Amino acid sequence: MLKVKVYNQEGKESGSLDLNESIFGVKPKLSVVYQVYNAIIANSREPWADTKNRSEVRGGGKKPWKQKGTGRARHGSIRSPLWVGGGVTFGPLSIRNYKQKINKKMNSLAVKMCLSDKVAENKMIVIEDFSVEGKVKPIADLRSKLPGAGKTTILLANEVNQKLNLATRNIKNLNMQQAKDVNVADLLNHQFIIITKKGIEILEKRLAK
C-alpha cells in the first residue's frame, strides 16, 4: 500500500494517508509527459508576430527610376522585399495557429505520472486542512515549517477560495491552483506540492475516470 505523511496546521507530522496506487504509483514515461507539456505550452502561445508583404507596405507606387539607361539594376518598386523598408517574404503572421490537440487519456496519464514522481521523491505534502483568514502570515509560517521550505511550491486548493488567494499571492515561490484544474505544466514548474486530504479525494475522483 502506498502511503504519504500527513501534517497538521502547525507543520507537525500527524499521521499517514493511503494513496491509490493506480493514480499515485504510476511509472513515469518521459515521452508521454514531454508530449503533453509541449501541447499545453503551445496552446497558451499567442501569435503576436506579424509582418507585411509588398502589397501591404505603404508607398512604392512609382517606379524608382527608368528601366534602361541608368546603369543600375532594374526595379519596379521601393517596397520590394529586396529594399530596406520593403515588404517581407514569407514572414510570420498573426493568423498562425499554434494549437495542438491533447488526447484526454494521455493528458490524465501524464498528470498521474507527474504526481507519482512527486510522491516517489517525497515532494507531495499532505496537510489535514487549511484555516484561512485571508492573511499571509499564517500560510507563510506553515510553509516555512513544512519540507522544502523556500523551494518552488504549488498549493492545490479544494475549490475557488478568494481568502486563500489573498493569503498566498505575495508569498515567494508559492502559487495556488485548484486540484481539479492542475495540469502537467503546473506540476513540472514546481518542485513541491501542498494539498489537503480533501484535495487528494478530488484528484482521485478526477483521475479515476
Res 158: pLDDT: 87
Res 50: pLDDT: 92
- The pLDDT tens digits of the residues spanning 98-121 come to 889 989 999 999 999 999 999 999
- The Cα–Cα gap between 14 and 36 comes to 36
- According to DSSP, the residues that pair with 156 across neighbouring strands are 177, 195
Res 132: pLDDT: 67
Mean pLDDT of 181-196: 94
Of 88, 206, 105, 192, the closest CA to residue 147 belongs to 192
Q: Which amino acid is at 176?
A: M
What DSSP state is assigned to residue 90?
T
Largest distance between two CA atoms of the chain: 93
Res 166: pLDDT: 81
Res 77: pLDDT: 93
Rounded to whole angstroms, what are the CA distances from 84 to 33, 54, 57, 81, 88? 45, 12, 12, 8, 10
- The pLDDT tens digits of the residues spanning 18-70 come to 999 999 999 999 999 999 999 999 999 888 999 999 999 998 888 999 999 99
Per-domain boundaries in the chain: 2-45+100-207, 47-97
CATH number of 2-45+100-207: 3.40.1370.10
pTM of the prediction?
A: 0.80
Res 46: pLDDT: 87
CB-based contacts of 100: which residues, under 8 Å, 6+ apart?
38, 39, 42, 43
Q: Hey, how many other C-beta atoms are within 10 angstroms of the C-beta on 36?
A: 25
C-alpha cell belonging to residue 10? 502547525
- The pLDDT tens digits of the residues spanning 128-169 come to 887 767 678 888 888 889 998 889 999 998 887 788 888 888
